[in-house]
Structure 1
Amino acid sequence: MQLLNLSETVNFMSLRRITSALSILLIVASIASFATKGLNWGLDFTGGSLIEVSFEQSADLTKVRQVMDENGFGDATVQNFGSSRDVLIRIAPRLHAEGESVGEKIDSKMIGDTIMSALTAMDDTATMRRIEFVGPSVGGELREQGGLAMLTALLCILIYVALRFEWRFALGSVSALGHDVIITVGLFSALGIEFDLTVLAAVLAVIGYSLNDTIVVSDRIRENFRKIRQGEAEEIINISLTQTLNRTMVTSFTTALVLLALLFVGGELIKGFATALLFGVVIGTYSSIYVASSIALALGISKEDMMPTEVEKEGADQDQLMP
């Protein structure tokens, strides 16, 4: 029985050696970037104060930094935020000699008033748009719990996939998830994009998206292993990937359209979230096709592994003895 002419399929697995080398290169580059540059942790994880200030004309960042230095905030990070008229000021928590955090003693409103008074004296069009404050102990706790949440999600997914699929597919699926997370985080490290709680939420969403895509592909491969009587494992995987290609591309394309709108129209506050998800959709689609399936094929998946176990009926021996 042959469901689809093999000549009509896309030979995805012919590129598996090239894509495997590409994946290894990207993973190594991501780990190297994380080890050397680290992540540009957002205020949620580092603690401190964040103030967004708007001007009527383009802001002179050099003058803003000078004003901050003159008022005792020389360690502040000053950068444009969205446009040349909007400025984002980040102030890290500082410690007294006895080790107590300044940020935990000084009210954030007092910090904002001090900075705004200085900026208004420089330019009377300066207006505060928002101010946020996170204590350093809270930031460290959020970083720890965020990493724990990601590891817990991966562990739960590993257990679920191991129970649902043959171990070769389970290992391929979990490897694909790890592949997506490492490369997505590596992108943020390499580009120096701020990594905050919204980006962490996006990474967790990428795990769910990639898993859903991988399970759809794995289900079709398992189904075709049981239905197609002729053909090697590589050919059956190619047939399965071709059959799910339309669904994969339509889902990825429509999701990408929404994320592109968020990226270009949603504003700076949601830019990191949209960037992580958009890149995650692309890398998740790639890993569903080439990482999970390639690993299962490399581990020697075969038709015998996909065949359901026959359960012997009670009393079958007695039936065979009856004339």
Structure 2
Amino acid sequence: MIEKTKLWFGISFVIILLGIVFMFKSGLNYGIDFKGGTLVQINMKKDFNKADVENIINKYTKDYSTNTATDTKNEIQLEIRSNSLTDEQIPKMYKEIKEKYKLQDKDLVSQQRIGPSVGKELTRKAVIALIIANLAMLVYIGFRFEIKFGLSAILSLVHDVLVTISIYAIFQIPVNSTFIAAILTIVGYSINDTIVVFDRIRENSKKHRRMGEIELADISITQTMSRSINTVLTTLFTIVSVCVIVPSIRDFTVPLTVGIVCGAYSSIFIASPLWVILKKSKKKKALAK
């Protein structure tokens, strides 16, 4: 595993580099939570052809997303989010939908404008939360293990966030407020997976005191590999099922899916090699003196 560190780092570097290129070229596809826009909710009452409704919406706006949800009365509500839909277009659009599905005026549940200031405040608070969480984890892991484990874990978390953002930039997946919640969840999941590997490295270092860092990391990764893969697969089965069955929360489950895969990858192929590099650099400095 550790012998192929350049390959693992190279894969991540390519993805992040592509993400940076796409961010400079097209930027992130911010949703209305960040850019501001219009949110329209319509009570459709019963099953309907979503493609037909989207054909109507498409006449008035191109940059939109739709979600459906079932309320307590088992009636289906359609949610339309758009950055460019104007107040003048909404009545015309709803008139077509109403005539097609025999709705009433009261079935237009709500229409509201969302300002971009909300998104800026959410972003600021999310960045602060990430910094505080990372510092707290660095202190804890440094105290519980050693500072090199902490630094390796934090760098692997940064890797997870950058790769997830890069995937969003490359495929132009809409970024909404739920993306922030997913990123914070990914950080918690990834650090848990990483600590499992680090704990095994610490145990093996006590049993095999003469073993080098590469051998220690390799044997520890091998011992925890099946556990990591099984945990990730069972989690992914659940999240992907929810993503398919409950489309209304895909804004949360999609980044969570990407992040969990990325977190499992980093805990095995990024965090442990980083620890080896940091340990070796310390030894080189000690020998230089």
Say yes or no: does 1:176 pair with 2:153: no
Label 1:218 to 1:77 Cα distance change in 2 as closer, same or farther (>3 A): same
Greater displacement, 279-288 / 225-234: 225-234
Say yes or no: does 1:37 pair with 2:26: yes
TM score, norm. by length of structure 2: 0.79
2:268 to 289, 310, 314: 289
2:16 to 20, 27, 40: 27
The residue aligned with 2:287 is none
2:123 to 122, 138, 143: 143
Question: Deviation at 1:31?
Answer: 2.5
Q: Is the 8 A contact 1:34 1:189 kept in 2?
A: yes
TM score, norm. by length of structure 1: 0.71
- How high is the sequence identity, in percent, across the aligned residues? 30
- Report the RMSD for the aligned CA atoms in angstroms: 3.2
Determine helix, strand or coil for the equivalent of 1:193: coil
Letter in 2 for 1:232: G
The residue aligned with 1:222 is 202
Once the two structures are superposed, the pairs formed by residues 84-95 of structure 1 within 5 Å of their partners are 88-92=80-84
Q: Is the 8 A contact 2:232 2:260 kept in 1?
A: yes
State how far apart, in whole Å, the 2-side matches of 1:155 and 1:123 are. 55
Q: Is the 8 A contact 1:180 1:283 kept in 2?
A: yes
State how far apart, in whole Å, the 1-side matches of 2:10 and 2:243 are. 30
Q: Is the 8 A contact 1:203 1:276 kept in 2?
A: yes
Once the two structures are superposed, the pairs formed by residues 110-129 of structure 1 within 5 Å of their partners are 114-115=91-92, 117-120=94-97, 123=100, 125=102, 128=108
State how far apart, in whole Å, the 2-side matches of 1:63 and 1:255 are. 37
Letter in 2 for 1:40: N
Letter in 2 for 1:279: V
Q: How many residues align?
A: 268
Question: Deviation at 1:129?
Answer: 6.9
State how far apart, in whole Å, the 1-side matches of 2:119 and 2:210 are. 58
Q: Is the 8 A contact 1:61 1:78 kept in 2?
A: no
Which protein has the larger Cα radius of gyration, Structure 1 or Structure 2?
Answer: 1
Greater displacement, 148-157 / 47-56: 47-56
Determine helix, strand or coil for the equivalent of 1:194: coil
Greater displacement, 51-60 / 220-229: 51-60
Q: Is the 8 A contact 2:240 2:253 kept in 1?
A: yes
Letter in 2 for 1:19: W
Label 1:256 to 1:167 Cα distance change in 2 as closer, same or farther (>3 A): same
Gaps of at least 5 residues in structure 2 are: 69-77, 284-289
The residue aligned with 1:192 is 172
State how far apart, in whole Å, the 1-side matches of 2:246 and 2:54 are. 24
Question: Deviation at 1:123?
Answer: 3.7
Question: Deviation at 1:251?
Answer: 1.2
The residue aligned with 2:132 is 152
Question: Deviation at 1:190?
Answer: 1.3
Letter in 2 for 1:49: T
CA deviation digits over 1:115-160, x for unaligned, max 9? 5554347645466476554233333322332333233323332333
Determine helix, strand or coil for the equivalent of 1:282: helix
1:48 to 34, 37, 44: 37
Question: Deviation at 1:46?
Answer: 2.3
**Runs of 4+ residues deviating >6 angstroms:** 110-113
State how far apart, in whole Å, the 2-side matches of 1:288 and 1:236 are. 15
State how far apart, in whole Å, the 1-side matches of 2:179 and 2:173 are. 10
State how far apart, in whole Å, the 1-side matches of 2:123 and 2:155 are. 24
Letter in 1 for 2:261: V
Greater displacement, 112-121 / 291-300: 112-121
Say yes or no: does 1:16 pair with 2:5: yes
Q: Is the 8 A contact 1:179 1:287 kept in 2?
A: yes
State how far apart, in whole Å, the 1-side matches of 2:55 and 2:90 are. 21
